[in-house]
Amino acid sequence: MLRFGVAVLSLLGLAKAVSFCLRTTDDQAMQRTFGRFVVWFALPCESRWPRDAQDARSARNQGRARLLRGAIECGLVVALTFAYARLAWIANHFWFDQLWTDLFVGLWLPGCFDVFTGLVMQTGLQLPEVFRLPVLASSPLDFWSRRWNLFYSRWAYRNLVFPLRRVLRPLPAVAAVFVVSAAFHEYLVLLTLGETRGEMTAFFLLQGAAVIAEIWWRRNRGPRRLPRLAAWTLQSAWMGLTTVLFFARMERILAFDMAHRI
């Protein structure tokens, strides 16, 4: 399973190297000295050097709020783990199991990142949010552009969409973001398990198609919206359905079923 760690680190390194070479980093002050560069390169997200003492204080305060949110998410992760071990009907039913996995991952990774960024922000560094409560997403566009892995979405905007907009129309440029994401995830699976059947590509192309359809719909049909609860239910069902593809391989790599062993 060490291979998965190497694969993730190599992708993070690639992303950092690209934004370093294209000079599209969040804050050039993070590259002003070798020490800052090391910190910037090693962090699994973007970082900004505080402009002054006031800026550092505000980062610490925001970091505390981030820690609180992370603690709540981690608490829910523990509760979900126990629920899975105690309530047999979750594991015994394919779709309950699938929704449980979605909920678990949607709280576990954001929880880890909130606690992590909250801790690092106590030094005064400003780390923009990477996850913003993705379990509350109300549409595919909301999920991918405002809630899930905002490090990748900001990186992709600066290094893919922005340069590609010179030669492509907006929607093909958005499609390119999902194609690159599919390639990154196929690489993760291939390097970890040594084989792939293209489930990741299918998942990210489906998600990209949904996002493009939503952008097109909003542009042509106006800002009519579903009631929030209905939108959330639809989005959760869509995710439950499509993440079958995503977890076809990822489940074996990350071993979420360890709750069985408690």
In order of 88, 101, 241, the CA distances from 94 in angstroms are: 12, 11, 11
Check binding of 119 to other proteins (CB under 8 A). yes
Exactly one of 59, 120, 160, 164 binds other proteins (CB under 8 A); which one? 120
If the CB atoms of residues 11 and 168 are measured against other proteins, the closer one turns out to be 11
Exactly one of 24, 27, 44, 99 binds other proteins (CB under 8 A); which one? 44
Check binding of 1 to other proteins (CB under 8 A). yes
| Number of residues forming the site for other proteins (CB under 8 A) | 30
Q: Rounded CA gap, 111 and 132, in Å?
A: 10
- CA-nearest of 189, 43, 225 to 119 is 43
Q: What is the DSSP letter of 184?
A: H
If the CB atoms of residues 158 and 252 are measured against other proteins, the closer one turns out to be 252
Check binding of 35 to other proteins (CB under 8 A). yes
Q: Rounded CA gap, 99 and 85, in Å?
A: 15
Least distance (Å) between residue 182 CB and other proteins: 21
Helix ranges, 87-134 (H): 88-92, 94-121
Least distance (Å) between residue 157 CB and other proteins: 24
Exactly one of 84, 100, 108, 246 binds other proteins (CB under 8 A); which one? 108
Q: Rounded CA gap, 217 and 236, in Å?
A: 20
Q: Rounded CA gap, 13 and 72, in Å?
A: 30
Check binding of 39 to other proteins (CB under 8 A). yes
Exactly one of 59, 125, 137, 141 binds other proteins (CB under 8 A); which one? 125
Check binding of 116 to other proteins (CB under 8 A). yes
Q: What part of residues 146-175 is at the interface with other proteins (CB under 8 A)?
A: none
CB 111 within 8 Å of CB 73 = yes
Q: What is the DSSP letter of 259?
A: G
Least distance (Å) between residue 171 CB and other proteins: 34
Check binding of 254 to other proteins (CB under 8 A). yes
In order of 140, 151, 168, the CA distances from 156 in angstroms are: 17, 8, 15
Check binding of 60 to other proteins (CB under 8 A). no
At residue 155's C-alpha, the angle toward residues 151 and 160, to 5°, is: 150
Judged by the rule CB under 8 A, the positions of this chain that interact with other proteins are 1, 4-5, 32-36, 38-39, 42-44, 108-109, 112-113, 115-116, 119-120, 122-125, 253-256, 258
